[in-house]
């Protein structure tokens, strides 16, 4: 009788069968509790989403097929090496005369790679995305030791090859030279 709208018993029946052109995302069973896309759609978030999609695409095209749950650090390394073909950073080989030159004066046939900084940032985003998508931290392939070691290796190699130091250097302003000390003008009262 009393139809008080108190009890919010919105029984959501499963009527999801009608989504025709919805490619079957393999059972994302996690209750998508992340209350509808945080307002901070920053560049970082966008980039992270794009990276995650790229990695998903990579898994999809992988031969033999690879699912995220079976993905290990070794697969992540495979992915990183695969990305090198799209790299734009020249990494000189040891026999190149420009080995160690940050700004070579001429072209050389050395390969283009992904810069260490890009890979490092990419792994950071994918690592976060993995856990946001319900992955367990201890099973995070992007946090695997092998990946960490690989990144360190790439950093050292590129630092030598490109003559660039990745040491954390504070961006300090060029030291201002004190103006040449002129003698005080004579006769200043
Ligand atoms: Zn070179």
* Residue 56 C-alpha from the chain's centroid: 14
Give CA–CA dist 65/141, Å, rounded: 17
**123 lies in which domain range?**
42-162
pLDDT of residue 112: 94
Could you tell me if residue 119 is inside a domain? yes
Q: How far is the CA of 80 from the centre of ligand 1 (A)?
A: 21
Give CA–CA dist 107/81, Å, rounded: 23
Domain count, the chain: 1
Q: How far is the CA of 100 from the centre of ligand 1 (A)?
A: 9
Q: How far is the CA of 160 from the centre of ligand 1 (A)?
A: 12
Q: What is the pLDDT of residues 127-156, one digit of tens each?
A: 999 999 999 999 999 999 999 999 999 999
Q: What is the pLDDT of residues 4-49, one digit of tens each?
A: 444 444 444 433 333 334 344 433 344 444 445 555 669 999 999 9
Range list of H helices, the chain: 43-61, 73-83, 116-132, 145-162
Could you tell me if residue 6 is inside a domain? no
For the segment 71-76, the average pLDDT, to the nearest whole number, is 96
Q: How far is the CA of 186 from the centre of ligand 1 (A)?
A: 60
Q: How far is the CA of 167 from the centre of ligand 1 (A)?
A: 22
Q: How far is the CA of 108 from the centre of ligand 1 (A)?
A: 5
Protein residues placing their CB within 5 Å of the ion ligand 1: 92, 96, 98, 108, 110
Q: How far is the CA of 103 from the centre of ligand 1 (A)?
A: 10
Task: Look up the CATH number of the domain holding residue 55.
Answer: 1.10.150
Could you tell me if residue 170 is inside a domain? no
Q: Share the mean pLDDT of the chain.
A: 79
Could you tell me if residue 92 is inside a domain? yes
Could you tell me if residue 32 is inside a domain? no
Could you tell me if residue 26 is inside a domain? no
Could you tell me if residue 84 is inside a domain? yes
Could you tell me if residue 76 is inside a domain? yes
């Amino acid at each position: 009788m009393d139809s008080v709208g108190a009890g919010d018993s919105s029984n959501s029946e499963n009527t999801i069968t009608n989504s025709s052109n919805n490619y079957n995302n393999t059972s994302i069973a996690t209750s998508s509790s992340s209350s509808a896309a945080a307002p901070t759609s920053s560049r970082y978030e966008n980039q992270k989403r794009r990276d995650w999609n790229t990695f998903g695409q990579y898994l999809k095209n992988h031969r033999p097929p690879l699912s995220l749950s079976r993905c290990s650090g070794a697969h992540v390394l495979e992915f990183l090496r695969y990305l090198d073909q799209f790299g734009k950073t020249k990494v000189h080989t040891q026999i190149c005369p420009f080995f160690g030159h940050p700004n070579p004066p001429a072209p050389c046939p050395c390969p283009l790679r992904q810069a260490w900084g890009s890979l490092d940032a990419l792994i950071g985003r994918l690592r976060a995305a993995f856990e946001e998508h319900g992955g367990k931290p201890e099973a995070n392939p992007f946090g695997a030791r092998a990946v960490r070691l690989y990144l360190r290796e790439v950093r050292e190699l590129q630092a030598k090859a490109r003559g660039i130091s990745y040491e954390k250097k504070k961006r300090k302003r060029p030291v201002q030279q004190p103006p040449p000390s002129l003698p005080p003008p004579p006769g200043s009262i």
